[in-house]
Amino acid sequence: MSKVFTLEALAKFAQCDFVGNANHAVNYVNSLESATSNEVSFLANLRYKDLLPMCQAGIICIDPSIPLIEGKNFLISSNPSKTFQIITDLILSTAISGFEKIHPTAVVHETVKYAEDVVIGPHVTIDQNVSIGKGTKIYANTFIGSNVVLGENCIIYPGVVIREHCILHNRVILQPGAVIGACGFGYITDPSGHHHKIPQLGNVILEDDVEIGANTTIDRARFKHTSISKGTKIDNLVQIGHNVTLGKHNIIVSQTGISGSAKTGDHVILGGQAGVMGHIEIGDHVQVATRGGVSKTIKKPGQYGGSPLQPFQDFNKNRVHLRNIEKYIKRIEELESRLQALEKLITK
């Protein structure tokens, strides 16, 4: 069962003010309209302020500009959404699993080094010479290959695969089914048309505060590193090829594919189903819309869309023209008909 937190304790943890019963206790979170007396909720958008009088939440995170309602418990901060997220992380981190320490079904090689507060769940397999930092949690049915390094306070959810020699820094989160360090897609085709595998001898490095979504795959480099820099967040079902380097604080949305040896700068956003060709570079602060196709290097910051890619303003204009293509065709046909009539008159 999850732990219980009082209003006063949560205010201290989130470093904000509170109003109400300091001893009121909660153990979960929920939406404003669905929360009950043992749950925390939040109001960050004034469009939903009419729900506040009817809300049954035990504790509500709000902005100081919102009038308080007597008899309810509030956490007051300039950013109630952030306060709610801090509390959510606290509550869910204590409730995610009932397993603690090293589960007896886990298979851990004798050479593995780990801190005392590490959690290794049921049926986890950890190969030789792995190092695991303090506070890291590895949940059920995960495989960790030899010589992997896991930093502090990482969360490895069930069914993850981390292959040999990969390195995860601190506070990395891997959602279920993520595969880190599979072989890059490299083959040599001989004259007879047969494909021969090229060995992939490098690894994957995930820096501090990187999060990888469910069933996302990041391939190991051929010789050196596939690298995901600090703070980058990658959604579910993303494919990242070998030798790719992603900059700091990127956002990569679901079903995006990034081909081998591509490189992004910092604060890059790739919308869902975007595609990036290999061996090109995307500069800092570039945003690519959904299904954008990046086939050439982009250095200028800004918003882009379409395939092939173009500045987003041009992309929107072209989409408008495409929607009106039938009107344009009819207009052209009418003009051609009138022109032909005029030509007949002139020839007479």
DSSP 249: T
State which H helix or E strand residue 73 sits in.
none
Catalytic annotation on 103? no
54 sits in the region (left: phi over 0; alpha: psi -120 to 50; else beta) called alpha
Helices (H), 57-155: 80-95
- Residue 108 bridge partners (DSSP): 126
Cα separation, 344 vs 330, in Å, equals: 21
Q: Which of 103, 242, 249, 267 is catalytic?
A: 242
Cα separation, 337 vs 187, in Å, equals: 57
Task: Supply the DSSP string of 79-101, one letter for each residue.
Answer: -HHHHHHHHHHHHHHHHS-S--S
Cα separation, 153 vs 207, in Å, equals: 13
List active site positions.
242
